[in-house]
Each structure stands twice: as C-alpha cells, then as structure tokens.
C-alpha cells in the first residue's frame, strides 16, 4: 500500500490530514478518504496493522500511553471511511414503512428490548455485564429501547455518540457483541406477523455500531499487550512484589471469592488449601516469576467443573479489585487481564465443547 515511487507524496498528504484530524488547522484539500482507498482492497486487518505501527512510532518517541490511546481512538474514527463502510446504515422504507413500523411500532419494540435483556441474563457469555439490581436493569432496558427506536427510524431518544465512551472501559469483544445480536434475534423472532426481511435489516443497523462498542476494549488490550511485550512479563512479577507479593495477592483474592455468592461454590471443600497453593504457583509463573507449578493442565483441572464465562468473568473481576486495592492503576491491571484472558479457552475448553454439542 506504500509503493516506493509514491511514498513521499503519500507521506506529505498524510501529515496534512493528521494535522487537521488531531485538532490543527484545516488545510487538507485532498480527495475523500473513501475515494482514495476504494481500489486498494483494505480490510480491518490492514487498518489494525496501521494502527499498531502508529502506536509503536508514538511510543518510540516517548509519548505517554494515555496519549497514544487517544490518538488510536481518533484514528479509528475514520475506519469506516477508509474501508468504505457506512457509519450509519440507512434502511429504505418498504411499502412506505420504516423499520420500526415494520416491527410493529413502539409496543413491539419495547417487548423486543425487554426480551433481549431477559436473554442477556440467561446467556453465560454476557450475563456478567447485565447481572444488575432491578433499578439498573430497568435503566439499561429503557436505554436499549431508546437506542433501537432511533436506529430503526423512530424518535431519536438516545445520543449514539455516547456508545463509545460508555463502553470504553468494559472488556467487550466481538464474542460478546455477537452474543447480543443472537439475543436480539431470539427476542425478535417471538413477534408475530413480521416480514422476513426485518431481522436481517435490523442486524445490518446493529452491526454498524459494533466498532463503537468494542473499540475501547481492543485499544486497551492491544496497548496492554504491547507494554507486556516491551517491558517483559517479569516486570509485572517484580511490581507485584515477587513471590511474597503473589502469595499476599492470592490470600486477598481468596478472601474476596469466598464472599462472592456467584462463585464461592468453586472455592470450598477439603482440598481448598491444596487448590490455593497450586493456584499461587501457577500465578507466579503466569506473572513472570520462577514457575513451580507441577499440576495438571487447565483443561484437565476444569473438566468436571460447571464453570461458564459468567463465573470466569466474576473471578477475573475479583482479581482486578484485588490488584486495584494493592495500588495498581487501570493500565497495569489491563496488563494482568491480557495474561488472564489468554487462559479462558483452556479453562472453559470443556464448557465450550459442551456448548457446541447442544
């Protein structure tokens, strides 16, 4: 994408564009981004690679991680233009009816939103994000309905500019977003007398805000992965206090999980101290220390444990709380989370296998 005979011209145009994009004087007079990139066949993979190189270049100049994150988020705002992807999908009316009217109006949409939330709380992949008190449940359901209403052609009651900042600090990935879409489909299918194109048209609109929802998690986790690679994982081991620090951390963690009604059942029984010792040894190695873990693989350990994404999310949340109480900032906690998330496929291997068989 950067041929030698054109790279100087591309570089100069890019500099002018970046100056304006990052808040400088509006001097860019080049072609529209979509027109420039349309014949190149650029995909999300290529765009993400460009962002990664941008991050490395900024960090090599000594810029703070927080500034790098802001730059990447700003650049991500032009992703749709570069990839010729509409940021707001417009579904043409059919037989004079917009999508909201084709669904059956506000009352049906309210039913869909309520049904979605019910499915959210039953789906182990995303239950963690919606396991709230009654007041919070009502608030989320109302905002969900308001968002859907405006997105589907009704009264605009929710500002979509809020989507990215609200979800930025949540660890939401494509995995979770796809689960939300599945819940929408199941809820919408419960409506009667709805034409067959309503759900596909709805999914096109919902998918248009995917990047707004998952960008924060992607940017934060990429930055955390980058810091781990550059500093070495053993830096986390040093900062947590080496072996004694990990032991103290696990003691505090077990105090938390034993009080957590959602997962305390996994931390009971005669073998609790043996489990705690094995987990301490495992964490020492995971966090970059000298590993003394000699136990079974994570797949074997959790084979007969009825653990789901929901339970693991709760456990990881307790870990984050303990790290925060020790004094780690959010950026460093993300570095631990990156390491922990790599274990999810192993810990839940048999759970995922059972899900595929259902």
Question: Residues 6 or more apart from 52 whose CB is under 8 A from it?
Answer: 222
What is the sign, positive or negative, of the torsion defined by CA atoms of 177, 180, 185, 191? negative
Superfamily of domain 99-224 in CATH is Globins (1.10.490.10)
Q: Residue 118 corresponds to which tokens in the numbers above?
A: 């019910």
CA 45/CA 188 separation, integer angstroms:
32
Residues 36/71, Cβ–Cβ less than 8 Å: no
CA 217/CA 223 separation, integer angstroms:
10
What's the pLDDT at 89? 57
Closest to 283 measured CA to CA, from 239, 330, 336: 336
> pTM value?
0.79
Closest to 316 measured CA to CA, from 285, 337, 291, 288: 337
Phi, psi (degrees; rounded to nearest 5) at 191: -75, 150
Q: Residue 241 corresponds to which tokens in the numbers above?
A: 């206090």
Residue 263: how many other CB atoms lie within 10 Å = 19
Question: Residues 6 or more apart from 308 whose CB is under 8 A from it?
Answer: 124, 348, 351
Task: Report DSSP state, residue 193.
Answer: S
CA 354/CA 250 separation, integer angstroms:
30
Residue 304: how many other CB atoms lie within 10 Å = 8
Question: Residues 6 or more apart from 30 whose CB is under 8 A from it?
Answer: 13, 16, 17, 36
Burial class (CB in 10 A: 0-12, 13-18, 19+), 223: buried
Q: Where are the domains of the chain?
A: 4-83, 99-224, 232-356
Closest to 146 measured CA to CA, from 158, 164, 129, 130: 158
CA 248/CA 250 separation, integer angstroms:
6
CA 316/CA 342 separation, integer angstroms:
12
**In the CATH hierarchy, which fold is given to the domain comprising 4-83?**
Globin-like (1.10.490)
Distances from the Cα of 296 to the Cα of 31, 276, 323, 357, angstroms: 59, 14, 26, 25
* Token pair 């992949």: residue: 125
The domain made up of 232-356 is a member of CATH 1.10.490.10 = yes
CA 160/CA 209 separation, integer angstroms:
9
- Could you report the per-residue pLDDT of 163-195, keeping only the tens digit for each? 988 998 999 999 999 999 999 999 999 998 788
- Could you report the per-residue pLDDT of 283-302, keeping only the tens digit for each? 999 999 998 788 999 999 99
Residue 352: how many other CB atoms lie within 10 Å = 14
Half-sphere exposure of 86 (CA within 13 A, CB side): 8
Residues 246/287, Cβ–Cβ less than 8 Å: yes
Comparing 4-83 with 232-356, is the CATH topology the same? Answer: yes
pLDDT values of the chain reduced to their tens digit, one per residue, 358 residues: 999 999 999 999 999 999 999 988 888 888 888 889 988 888 877 888 888 888 888 988 988 877 888 888 888 888 888 887 665 556 667 778 899 999 999 999 999 999 999 999 999 999 999 999 999 999 999 999 999 999 999 989 999 888 988 998 999 999 999 999 999 999 999 998 788 899 999 999 999 889 889 988 988 898 899 889 989 989 999 999 999 999 999 999 999 999 999 999 999 887 889 999 999 999 999 999 998 788 999 999 999 999 999 999 999 999 999 999 999 999 999 999 999 999 999 999 999 999 888 7
Closest to 313 measured CA to CA, from 114, 140, 116, 130: 130
């Amino acid at each position: 994408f950067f041929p030698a005979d054109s790279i100087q011209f591309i570089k100069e145009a890019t500099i002018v564009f970046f100056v304006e994009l990052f808040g400088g004087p509006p001097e860019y007079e080049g072609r529209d981004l979509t027109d420039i990139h349309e014949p190149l066949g650029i995909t999300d993979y290529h765009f993400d690679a460009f962002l990664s190189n941008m991050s490395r270049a900024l960090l090599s100049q000594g810029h703070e991680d927080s500034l790098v994150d802001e730059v990447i988020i700003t650049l991500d705002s032009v992703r749709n233009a570069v990839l010729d992807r509409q940021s707001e999908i417009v579904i043409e009316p059919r037989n004079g009816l917009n999508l909201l009217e084709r669904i059956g109006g506000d009352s049906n949409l309210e039913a869909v939103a309520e049904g979605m939330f019910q499915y959210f709380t039953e789906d182990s992949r995303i239950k963690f994000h919606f396991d709230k008190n009654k007041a919070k449940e009502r608030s989320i359901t109302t905002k969900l309905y308001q968002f859907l209403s405006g997105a589907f052609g009704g009264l605009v009651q929710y500002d979509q500019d809020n989507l990215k900042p609200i979800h930025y600090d949540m660890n939401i990935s494509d995995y979770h977003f796809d689960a939300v879409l599945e819940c929408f489909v199941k809820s919408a299918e419960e409506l009667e007398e709805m034409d067959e194109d309503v759900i596909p048209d709805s999914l096109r609109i919902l998918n248009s805000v995917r990047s707004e929802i998952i960008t924060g998690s992607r940017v934060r986790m990429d930055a955390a992965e980058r810091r781990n690679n550059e500093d070495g994982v053993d830096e986390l081991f040093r900062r947590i206090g080496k072996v004694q620090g990990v032991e103290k951390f696990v003691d505090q963690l077990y105090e938390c999980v034993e009080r957590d009604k959602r997962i305390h059942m996994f931390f009971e029984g005669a073998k609790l101290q043996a489990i705690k010792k094995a987990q301490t040894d495992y964490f020492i190695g995971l966090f970059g220390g000298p590993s003394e873990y000699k136990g079974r693989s994570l797949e074997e350990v959790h084979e007969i444990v009825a653990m789901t994404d929901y339970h693991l999310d709760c456990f990881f949340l307790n870990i984050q709380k303990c790290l925060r109480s020790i004094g780690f900032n959010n950026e460093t906690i993300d570095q631990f989370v990156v390491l922990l998330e790599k274990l999810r496929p192993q810990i839940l291997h048999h759970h995922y296998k059972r899900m595929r068989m259902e």
